[in-house]
């Protein structure tokens, strides 16, 4: 009888051969009929009120598709008050917050179009640290700067404290963590009035976003074939009726 040991052994990855030979297909390899490339114009400041949005007249804006619906995401916020708008409404609360969506059939012209958008802001005091947020001298979210709270209760904690030989208390901090992808993140969203929305992307959490997609699009769960998700792409695809 042959015994296979996994620990300490090199286990072949199912997708490994396709990746090392170049046969694997990423979002950038996919081309759909009439497909537009999308990009997001984002906040350049940490916090402030959005003022005038200007478009450089040297760009042929008639060839661009844009989305700056100030109500974008209101349905999502009503269905789940703890969620952020798809697009910033009147105020941005952090740097790189999405404000405007642009789409163009030429990805190179799209990049120039993004650079040709200028936004005026009325700066507001930002909050940079957890300590500043807890002081609540500046409220940027809800009533107390709490984005989301979770309560986990299990067992009799007070009884455990009484029986513990030692109790160690302290505050511990870790830096932000993000996994390193071997490719840039990308997404394609296709909207069809009859069949709904289909999304292809490079994220790995498609399951919990269906509620958000349903609220944003006003469509039932059965109208989504979501492999992965990014809300900006969905919004632009539905507005332009093109992938």
Q: pLDDT by residue (tens digit) across 83-108? A: 667 888 889 999 999 999 999 999 99
Whole-angstrom distance, CA of residue 231 vs CA of residue 209: 9
**Distance of alpha carbon 72 from alpha carbon 87, whole angstroms:** 6
Q: For residues 238 and 60, which has the higher predicted lDDT (pLDDT)?
A: 60
Q: Is the dihedral of CA 230, 233, 235, 237 positive or negative?
A: negative
Per-range mean pLDDT, top range of 72-76, 124-128, 157-161, 238-242: 124-128
pLDDT surpasses 80 at 180: no
Tell me how far CA of residue 16 lies from CA of 10, 19, 30, 199, in angstroms: 12, 5, 20, 24
- Region 16-24: what's the mean pLDDT? 87
Which residue, 72, 141, 58, is CA-closest to 100?
A: 72
Confidence band for 233, pLDDT divided at 50, 70 and 90: very low
What DSSP assignment string belongs to 129-169?
SHHHHHHTSS--STTTS-S-------S-HHHHHHH-S----
CA 234, CA 228: separation in Å to the nearest integer?
11
Span 26-42, average pLDDT: 88
Query: pLDDT averaged over the chain?
Result: 80
Chain center to CA of 194 = 26
Q: Mean pLDDT over residues 45-64, rounded?
A: 94
232 pLDDT band, cuts 50/70/90, is very low
Q: Which of the pair, 24 or 49, is modelled with greater confidence? A: 49
- 118 has a pLDDT exceeding 80: yes
Name which of 211, 236, 242 is nearest 226 in CA terms.
Answer: 211
pLDDT score for 150: 87
pLDDT-derived band at 204 (thresholds 50, 70, 90) equals low
Share above pLDDT 90 across residues of the chain, in percent, rounded to a whole number = 34
- pLDDT(228) > 80: no
Residue 3's pLDDT band, with cuts at 50, 70 and 90, is low
Contacts of 121 (CB under 8 A, 6+ apart): 43, 44, 45, 48, 49, 50, 51, 92
Residue in 202, 204, 205, 226 with CA at minimum distance from that of residue 214 = 226
Residue 29's pLDDT band (cuts 50, 70, 90): confident
pLDDT band, very low/low/confident/very high, at 202 (cuts 50, 70, 90): low
Whether the pLDDT of residue 11 is over 50: the answer is yes
**Pairing between β-strand 196-201 and β-strand 187-192 as defined by DSSP bridges:** antiparallel
Model-level pTM greater than 0.85?
no
The two three-digit tokens of residue 87, written as one number: 């697009």
Of 38-47, 53-62, 78-87, the least confident: 78-87
Q: Is residue 198 pLDDT above 90, yes or no?
A: no
């Amino acid at each position: 009888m042959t015994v296979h040991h996994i620990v300490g052994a090199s286990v072949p990855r199912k997708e490994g051969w396709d990746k090392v030979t170049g046969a694997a297909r990423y979002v950038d390899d996919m081309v759909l009929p009439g497909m537009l490339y999308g990009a997001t114009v984002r906040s350049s400041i940490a916090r402030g009120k959005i003022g005038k949005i200007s478009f450089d007249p040297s760009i042929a804006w008639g060839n661009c598709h844009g989305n700056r619906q100030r109500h974008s995401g209101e349905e999502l916020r009503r269905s789940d008050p703890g969620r952020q708008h798809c697009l910033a409404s009147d105020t941005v609360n952090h740097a790189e917050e999405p404000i405007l969506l642009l789409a163009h059939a030429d990805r190179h012209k799209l990049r120039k179009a993004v650079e040709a958008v200028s936004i005026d802001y009325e700066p507001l005091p930002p909050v940079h640290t957890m300590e500043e947020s807890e002081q609540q001298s500046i409220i940027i979210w809800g009533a107390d700067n709490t984005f989301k709270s979770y309560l986990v209760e299990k067992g009799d904690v007070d009884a455990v404290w009484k029986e513990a030989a030692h109790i160690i208390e302290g505050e511990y901090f870790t830096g932000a963590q993000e996994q390193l992808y071997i490719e840039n993140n990308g997404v394609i969203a296709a909207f069809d009035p009859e069949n709904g929305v289909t999304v292809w992307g490079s994220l790995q959490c498609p399951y919990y976003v269906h509620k958000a997609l349903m609220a944003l699009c006003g469509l039932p769960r059965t109208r989504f074939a979501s492999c992965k998700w990014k809300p900006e792409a969905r919004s632009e695809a539905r507005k332009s009726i093109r992938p």
